Structure 1
Amino acid sequence: MSQADATFAAAATRLAGLAALALGWRPDEFWRATPAELAAPGAALAPAQPAPPDAALRARLQEMFPDG
């Protein structure tokens, strides 16, 4: 087994265990899941990301903290 194969196998084993704990999935459910199905619960549990600053806020910040 190559190093890459060993790394993939270890990562897959950890993910299967996490899916079992967090989602109640059995191994066959984990292995049949698509990447999107694996990502969806994580995205739903992740904290919301704030919106990026708009143009007006960027302009005010540039005035407050000019470069140079």
Structure 2
Amino acid sequence: MDWAGLLQKGLYQLRLTPRDFWALTPAELQIMLGAVGAQAPMGRVQLDALLRDFPDDVKDETNG
């Protein structure tokens, strides 16, 4: 990813503060720069795969 180029566009073209720039997701930044529809939304299959691979409710088996 061209972070230097994106940072320049964020700070100079969009006039974001560095704090606001780094708080954005790459998808949000793309939309703000006019790349609407550049990335398809996540479908159910991809969401299920993420939930399976990175479950939110993981318990440490050593501590119960």
* TM-score normalised by length of structure 2: 0.44
* TM-score normalised by length of structure 1: 0.42
Q: Which has the higher helix share?
A: 1
Higher RCO, 1 or 2 (CA under 8 Å, sep at least 6)?
2
